[in-house]
Chain A
Amino acid sequence: MTEQAELLKELENQKYKYGFVTDIEADTVPRGLNEDIICLISAKKQEPAWLLEWRLKAYRHWQTMSEPHWAKLEFEPINYQNLFYYAAPKQKIKPQSLAEVDKNLLETYDKLGIPLKEQEALAGVVAVDAVFDSVSVATTYRAQLAEKGIIFCSISEAIKEHPELVQKYLGSVVPYTDNFYACLNSAVFTDGSFVYIPKGVRCPMELSTYFRINAKNTGQFERTLIVAEDDSYVSYLEGCTAPQRDENQLHAAIVEIVVLNNAEVKYSTVQNWYPGDEYGNGGVYNFVTKRAACRGQNAKISWTQVETGSAITWKYPSCVLQGDNSIGEFYSVAITHHHQQADTGTKMIHIGKNTRSKIISKGISAGHSNQTYRGLVDVAAKASNARNFSQCDSLLIGNKCGSHTVPYIRNRNKSAILEHEATTSKISDEQLFYCQQRGIGEEEAIGLIVNGFCKEVMQNLPMEFAIEAAKLINISLEGSVG
């Protein structure tokens, strides 16, 4: 696929943008969180009463909860009353040309192979509309999806246009009582995506949350809901390889996925939020709850993630395997560098009979960073013949970083077969020497070796995404040696 075709394809999935609420008055909503603010958010979004009530219930419950600290993460307590819960992005002085844009940022765009026009848009020099006359393209594809009965829109739009579907499924996988951050998100989420694939439909294209450029519109409290009816299939891409510099320090998103009989959902993420500087100043705190419920028989969910960003990552995309013969998969690459901290993994909850799950986790730590794989494999008493295979590999670069593996296994059924493999290794001097002796420079060699280490995960990403993600891995590890 040519670059242009690739962009158009990404563009077509850009529905998100058109459903986004742009309200200048938003700037006037004060800091802090109380019931008035939640009422205001709900009113601005013209939400139905049931949703406001749900938000308020979540908020009241949230007040009884406390910030969890069981993860191996160190951070100062967050003052939740000091945040804006409904705010348009801050008005910043717009650069007049690329010459005024941070040189490092431009270098990164170049390395990722992002075209110049698009760089201008990413850096905020020109508006997105100036780059692509996109409306007609987007409309064409939207029509194509609509023809098949696929709904792909912002969650705000879905609340207005498909309230029955949203009400039926919202919070059904991640209830607002689930955890501190999920509860907060339920009270204050402002936008996100909604996908509905009707019975028997195979979605003809990869759905992306947003076009790369548009990524900066992502809210702090994003909420995504995907429903795959019987015998349907969809592959969904979230995120963006281009560095995302966000002023918001706290991100608490939710992704809920419902998979019914014989349906399959593939969910791929590339997360590259601002990781902070090399001394550990700044950076996004990313507390995400992602969960898929395989409610039907033979349902399948596959999570693939490449996590390179954020100062703090707290994220465990999970699979609840309720339906008999359902399958859950988790493929993850997490890279931490400098002073980044990541506590990430998955939960495989086996409830139905003959359920199968697979976990492939590749963690790469460099600099002074710290990384933990934390995973749960849980087999219920009735889940006969459940199977799990877990492989958790860690690669260390340098001798100041840390890597930890915490696999929890809870098995209440004797017929279960659970396998766990874990390795920790370092890039060997011999491997580096071998590459360098063949003319490959040290940083390129590290990129090559690390990409090889992650191969099993990377090959699960859709092609175009995989190429960018491979470049991203190289960039993320720059300066990790020497």
Chain B
Amino acid sequence: MTALLQIKDLYAGVAENKKEIIKGLNLTINAGEVHAIMGPNGAGKSTLSYLLAGKSDYEITSGKIDFDGKDLSELTTSERANAGIFLSMQYPVAIPGVSVSSFLKHAVNAKRKYAGLPELDAAEFLKVLRTAAKELGVSAEMLKREINVGFSGGEKKRLEILQMRLLEPKLAILDEADSGLDIDALRIVAEGVNRLHNKDNALLIITHHLDLLNLIEPDFVHIYADGHIVRSGDKSLAEALEKDGYKSFLEA
């Protein structure tokens, strides 16, 4: 079986000032797996997620990322999304005047077009949207609102999960999905994610806390510091980390 995501000897950083943030990263993720990356602030965790998603501010200096049999560097940001990479953002941005439903229709149809499927018309799309929203407990009122405008932290994350449900990614990256959420909201997000996870897709969870990993059970936990993985293990590694802090791992 070929890996869904394979990162080999990756060195990368900020395009503008050539600052290297990722230094010698190796990571393999197979379909069906849940990986968690934990690391101190400033370790470059978000850089990794932006790099995978193709944000233009970041660039690879050496190494390679293969996703689902394709060299990721040859795909544009939207092509990567349509090929199956979904990044649930830490701070989803507001787009005034654009309703949630209209935005999602554009996104779903972009993906269908990429896959060579006919686009959904308004009626067909609404049916799909309503089903998904109901499943995830998203109200009809929220679908009419302008995207992320005046949304609470919990609402924003819920909207991210709704998008994930509609776009059915092969690899979902949850970047600090727990930031700014109370425990109830966190539970709702985790339930949504668990419901979507199956043997054909994979999750990459970037987090500081054990809380989320108690709700979404990881197969692998990686401790990430100074631009690369310093230790990999199972969930017990996260528990040890919670107990002893990063310091003991960084010194090891």
Instruction: Report if A and B associate in a common complex.
Output: yes
Q: Is A453 an interface residue (CB 8 A)?
A: yes
Report yes or no: B97 in contact with A442, Cβ–Cβ below 8 A: no
Q: Which of B82, B89, B102 contacts A434 (CB 8 A)?
A: B89
Number of interface residues of A (CB under 8 A): 23
CB-contacts of A89-146 with B (<8 A): none
Q: Do A441 and B98 form a contact, CB below 8 Å, given A428-B93, A434-B93?
A: no
Give Cα A35–Cα B111 distance, bound, in whole angstroms.
65
Chain A binder among B2-10, B40-48, B50-58, B210-218:
B50-58
Q: Which of A436, A437, A439, A449 contacts B98 (CB 8 A)?
A: A449
Q: Is A426 an interface residue (CB 8 A)?
A: no
Q: Do A438 and B163 form a contact, CB below 8 Å, given A433-B55, A452-B146?
A: yes
Q: Is A376 an interface residue (CB 8 A)?
A: no
Report yes or no: B87 in contact with A440, Cβ–Cβ below 8 A: no
Report yes or no: B82 in contact with A439, Cβ–Cβ below 8 A: yes
Give Cα A434–Cα B149 distance, bound, in whole angstroms.
14
B93 partner residues in chain A, CB cutoff 8 A: 428, 430-431, 433-434
Report yes or no: A439 in contact with B55, Cβ–Cβ below 8 A: no
CB distance from B76 to the nearest CB of A (A): 7
Report yes or no: A453 in contact with B97, Cβ–Cβ below 8 A: yes
What number of A-B contacts does a CB cutoff of 8 Å give? 78
Report yes or no: A429 in contact with B167, Cβ–Cβ below 8 A: no
Report yes or no: B97 in contact with A439, Cβ–Cβ below 8 A: no
Give Cα A456–Cα B92 distance, bound, in whole angstroms.
23
Chain B's closest residue to A449 (CB) is: B95
Q: Do A452 and B96 form a contact, CB below 8 Å, given A437-B53, A439-B82, A439-B111?
A: yes
Give Cα A215–Cα B86 distance, bound, in whole angstroms.
47
Give Cα A449–Cα B81 distance, bound, in whole angstroms.
19
Q: Which of B110, B163, B167 contacts A441 (CB 8 A)?
A: B110
Q: Is B106 an interface residue (CB 8 A)?
A: yes
Report yes or no: B107 in contact with A438, Cβ–Cβ below 8 A: yes
B: interface residue count bin: 20 to 34
Q: Do A448 and B103 form a contact, CB below 8 Å, given A429-B56, A431-B93?
A: yes
Q: Is A412 an interface residue (CB 8 A)?
A: no
Q: Is A444 an interface residue (CB 8 A)?
A: yes
B73 partner residues in chain A, CB cutoff 8 A: none
B61 partner residues in chain A, CB cutoff 8 A: none
Report yes or no: A448 in contact with B57, Cβ–Cβ below 8 A: no
Q: Is A455 an interface residue (CB 8 A)?
A: yes
B95 partner residues in chain A, CB cutoff 8 A: 431, 434-435, 448-449, 452
Q: Most chain-A Cβ atoms within 10 A of its Cβ — which of B54, B57, B106, B163?
A: B106
Report yes or no: B98 in contact with A440, Cβ–Cβ below 8 A: no
Report yes or no: A439 in contact with B107, Cβ–Cβ below 8 A: yes
Report yes or no: B81 in contact with A438, Cβ–Cβ below 8 A: yes
Interface set of B (CB-CB < 8 Å, partner A): 53-57, 76-78, 81-82, 86-87, 89, 92-93, 95-98, 102-103, 106-107, 110-111, 114, 146, 163, 167
Which 6 A-B pairs have CB atoms at the shortest separation, nearest pair first? A452-B97, A452-B98, A455-B97, A436-B77, A438-B107, A439-B110
Q: List 14 A-B contacts (CB under 8 A).
A: A430-B93, A435-B95, A436-B54, A436-B81, A438-B103, A438-B110, A439-B82, A439-B111, A439-B114, A441-B110, A448-B106, A449-B95, A452-B98, A456-B97
Name 6 extra pairs, CB < 8 A, besides A434-B92, A435-B103: A431-B93, A433-B56, A435-B95, A436-B54, A448-B98, A452-B146
Interface set of A (CB-CB < 8 Å, partner B): 428-431, 433-442, 444, 448-449, 451-456
